[in-house]
Structure 1
Amino acid sequence: MRKLVATLAAISFSSAALAGVAEVEKRLKERYPSTQINEVRESVIAGLYEVVMGRNIAYTDETGRYVLFGHIFDMQAQKDLTAERLEEINKIDVASLPLEDAIKIVKGDGSRKLYVFSDPDCPFCQRLERETLPKIDNVTIYTFLFPLEGLHPDAKRKAEAIWCAKDRAKAWEAFMREGKMPEEAKCDNPIERNIQLGERLGFNGTPTILLEDGKVIPGFLPAEQLEQRMSGEKR
């Protein structure tokens, strides 16, 4: 009997919580009709609701009047809970990536996968190629040449020359690690498509690394940290 009462109480509490979330979401959409609200759910803090707005997260009370922007930290577990949620909601469907538009490099047995959006004139992309990726083994790396012309006006020309080289993988590594440009060549290339793809995915910096599960890592990482992320270990 006690188990039945406990179960019914849990169901009642869950239903009330869901009703509360639905009501908060309704209020938010009424108050802010021009704001994209994808999801509302209870946060780990009683009375505070998590609101997913596009690629961002905010927090609100049950009235929807007061909104907080920032991160919630679990100090006991030493976790940034907001950062973990942002990783989840901003995952990319890597199965939809046009791999034929990327430079493919296989290391070891190639069993793991990495997807990198990289600019040939980006200093941190060069560091990634020199310091990090040589230390990562048993991986297939798909590099999408993604020149940011606003920052690096000559990057698109270099990306096209590297793609059109006889061995684009060797040309890419030679340029990024040693600064050696291949002979100028013209060919059909995916550079403009890659730029449009990166923009659609919301990437505005390089390097941008995608893990196999679609999680996005913006910026440079040392090899040890990248290995940890690829292994699914907590930061």
Structure 2
Amino acid sequence: MTHTRLPTAAWTRRLALGALGAAALTASAHANEALIRKNLADRLPNLPRIEEVRPTPMPGLFEIRLNGTDILYTDAEGNYLIQGVLIDTKARVNLTEERLDKLTAVAFDELPLKDALTVVRGNGQRKLAVFADPNCGFCKRFERDLAKLDNVTIYTFLYPVLGKDSHTKSRAIWCAKDRAKTWNDWMVRGVPPTEPAADAKCDTAALERNLALGQKYRITGTPTTILANGTRLPGAVGLDRLEALLAQAGTGK
């Protein structure tokens, strides 16, 4: 195979032009960002603070990020604001969903595991965390599948989002002498947890922290599972698929 060698001067000019082009694109992006921020702030004073402005793959369309993980779209001058989903039809990819997944990615080793119920089976090497509501039917079905897993450590974050009774049951489970057994008795066997006495000393602040954690990561449904590699699984995943995904995730080390 032969290669065409450019003269040194020509090659230098090409590099210089490439650098100038990149610098021009960067300057243009910064100018667009400044204009977007100014116009939206002036015209929509009640709009939350814009935390990030970035171009999208669609020419002339920019993403603006608010409140940590809220995404809107606008033109290069902030004349229009779009709320919705951006889809790449050629690649068949939901770009908005893909972006949200990155923004809400969960680092497993940063989860506050002290706020979860812990069950260890076998060598416990495989790890997963589950956000679950005690009144969630899909969670109960999923719990029966989880009971069939071996060599696993399961961290269950009580996530009472389905009403007042969910919080009541979560409190009873968290305040039980054997939390994991009480949870399993209720979810698998249908044995209701015993509510703690009115004067019982039980710190349930973990339940509020779990709710805040779920909101931070935009966990809107139960069960939601987080694997050791950060993969998020919404819904009651079938046992065969879960086994395969656990093998892919490894131990997270």
Same fold (TM over 0.5): yes
- Does the aligned pair in 2 maintain the 1:88–1:215 contact within 8 Å? no
Match in the other structure for 1:122: 136
Contact 2:132 2:158 in 1 (8 A): yes
Paired residues in the alignment total 229
Query: What is the TM-score normalised by the length of structure 2?
Result: 0.73
Identity between Structure 1 and Structure 2 (%)? 40
Are the equivalent residues in 2 in contact too, given 1:147–1:195 (CA < 8 A)?
no
Bigger Cα Rg = 2
Partner of 2:82: 68
SS at match of 2:23: helix
Of 15, 21, 30 in structure 1, the residue corresponding to residue 27 of structure 2 is: 15
Find the partner of 1:148 among 161, 179, 193.
Answer: 161
User: Could you say which residue in structure 1 is the equivalent of 2:6?
Assistant: none
Task: Tell whether the 8 Å contact from 1:148 to 1:155 is kept in structure 2 after alignment.
Answer: yes
CA RMSD, Structure 1 to Structure 2 (Å): 3.1
The one-letter code matched in structure 2 to 1:128 is F
Deviates more, 1:59-68 or 1:203-212: 203-212
Instruction: Return 5+ residue gaps in structure 1 as ranges.
Output: none
The CA deviation at 1:47 is: 0.2
**Mapping 1:176-191, distance limit 5 Å:** 176-181=187-192, 188-191=201-204
**Are 1:52 and 2:68 an aligned pair?**
no
Equivalent of residue 106 in structure 1, options 100, 103, 120: 120
2-structure distance, mates of 1:174, 1:17: 57
Q: Is the 8 A contact 1:104 1:143 kept in 2?
A: yes
Matches of 1:193 and 1:154, distance apart in 2: 17
- CA displacement, residues 45-90 of structure 1 (integer Å, 9 cap, x when unaligned): 0000011122321111122121222212223333211101112223
- 1:209 paired to 2:225: yes
